[in-house]
Chains A and B, each alone.
Chain A
Amino acid sequence: MNIRCFPRKFSSALPPLVPLQLPSPMETHLWYILPNEVKSVALLNQYSELLSPCERENVNRMGGDQLKKRALLARALVRTTIARYQTNCQMNPRSLKFRKNIYGKPEVEWKNDDNFSPPPLHFNISHTSSMIACGVTVNVPIGIDVEGKQRKIKNDIIAFAQRYFSPCEVKLLTAISDSEIQRQEFIKLWTLKEAYVKALGKGFSAVPFKTFTIRFKASTIRCFHLPGNSVSEASEVIVESSDDPKNLPNNWQFALLEVAASHYVAICTEKDKIVGGEANRPMKLTVRKTIPFVEDVCVSGTDAVLVLGGIIEQ
């Protein structure tokens, strides 16, 4: 497959994107593409028409067809996902503009119109060779990270953890005797730490991994929406400062998922202060697998989404 991004003089008709309501406060929408499922060169060319010239240039700079395809799908996913959330106007994926904040975190540059009030939409993307994902929230920042479950670590895991993780996390990983389970727990921890740093949006160096600990805490929550106000055991993911464990930044909530039986996905969002309410409010989550313009499948509550950590309501 010879993939090269080039601007087309004519635009072929693409079916419209199915419009959606924005996520509600405390709700996260997760969209993902499995690149192996996108095989049509015609479709990839249509995606490339959505990109800005700068984005197309970046795609062409990638080494090899697979990397080009991945970069192309990542941009197509971001543009089409954001364009779905019709607010008071029809958003064209092609016309969206992006910029980076002062720390380098990508954000939408909404047009500065008198009649147009930009939606309070936040997004973050992550990709590995076999999955590209985009998370969307309103009002609050979001960070996500995706890693393949089978990913092999080239360095020694404990040496890596000693170099980059907090002492508490090193202790936890060292205590795992099974090397395969240790590898899996390492990757889960990595995705959670990445998601947190990306949610904070200040870059890797502003919040070095060593300065905070992420761990699981057993938590009992009351599920008001289930019959009989049932209480269920859930595993909450918390973050604490390495130096000052009692100082818990508790305005962040996490989700750790196993998606499509093949990837760990970590999501971190800020708790919405305006909504407030009880301390352990679940994160409402809707997960959709997509091939933009071809199909969208809601996979929440199916086998495709396994909750490994966090208080989640699907």
Chain B
Amino acid sequence: MASLTGVSLKLTPLSSSFKPTQVPFLGVSNVNSVSFPSLTMRPGSFRIRISCAAKPETVDKVCKIVRKQLALPADSSVTGESQFAALGADSLDTVEIVMGLEEEFGITLEEESAQSISTVQDAADLIEKLLEKKGA
């Protein structure tokens, strides 16, 4: 996807993975191997903001809803770059998650945008965009 949100996704997860509250990756990494050697060693301060990435609280809320829907064990890793499909979400799970997000944040997600969400970060970014529009 050639959207701005798409571009920012590649960069922000690298910085968010250094946040102390994040659970470190367990087992197989599900981060696409994009090598930005100059960025990996920098903690949270280095962040190219092409579009506004979601607040950590929003990402956390999304993670919680995803965990609940998929009944994931407490020790399983769910972070911003977790892909719904890789967590085991099928189409009904995805729609239930979208509905849960709509209820939690008081927004409506159109089918087109719901279809373009593949990671937790995607969902969080979209939610904040809609909340911003609402607030404006």
Contact = CB atoms under 8 A, between A and B. Distances in A.
A63 B100 contact: no
Interface in B52-102: 68-69, 76-77, 82-83, 85-88, 90-92, 95-96, 99-100, 102
Given A63-B77, A64-B76, A154-B69, A205 B96 contact: no
Nearest to B95: A164
Q: Which of B86, B96, B115 has the most CB of A within 10 A?
A: B86
Nearest to B102: A163
B92 A147 contact: yes
Contacts of A164: 95, 99
Contacts of B85: 62
Contact of A205 (B27, B92, B112): B112
Contacts of B115: 203-205
Contacts of A153: 96
A67 B86 contact: yes
A188 to B, nearest CB: 13
Q: Which of B76, B85, B100, B102 has the most CB of A within 10 A?
A: B85
A154 B90 contact: no
A62 B111 contact: no
Contact of B87 (A63, A154, A204): A63
B99 A160 contact: yes
Contact of B88 (A67, A151, A203): A67
A154 to B, nearest CB: 5
Contacts of A63: 27-28, 30, 76-77, 82, 86-88
How would you classify the secondary structure of chain A's contact residues: helix, strand, loop or mixed?
mixed
B114 interface: yes
A60 B69 contact: no
A205 B99 contact: no
Contacts of A61: 28, 30, 83, 86
A236 interface: no
Interface residues of A, number: 27
Interface residues of B, number: 26
A98 to B, nearest CB: 17
B99 A163 contact: yes
Contacts of A145: 91
Interface string B9-30: 0000000000000000001101
Contacts of A154: 68-69, 96, 100
A127 B88 contact: no
Contact of B86 (A62, A147, A151, A194): A62
B110 to A, nearest CB: 8
29 contacts: A62-B86, A62-B88, A63-B27, A63-B82, A63-B87, A64-B88, A67-B86, A67-B87, A145-B91, A147-B92, A151-B92, A154-B68, A154-B69, A155-B99, A155-B100, A159-B99, A160-B95, A160-B99, A163-B102, A164-B99, A194-B92, A203-B115, A204-B91, A204-B114, A205-B110, A205-B111, A205-B114, A205-B115, A208-B111
Closest 6 CB pairs of A and B: A205-B111, A205-B112, A67-B88, A205-B115, A208-B111, A61-B30
Given A63-B30, A67-B88, A205-B114, 6 more contacts: A61-B83, A63-B88, A67-B87, A154-B96, A194-B91, A204-B111
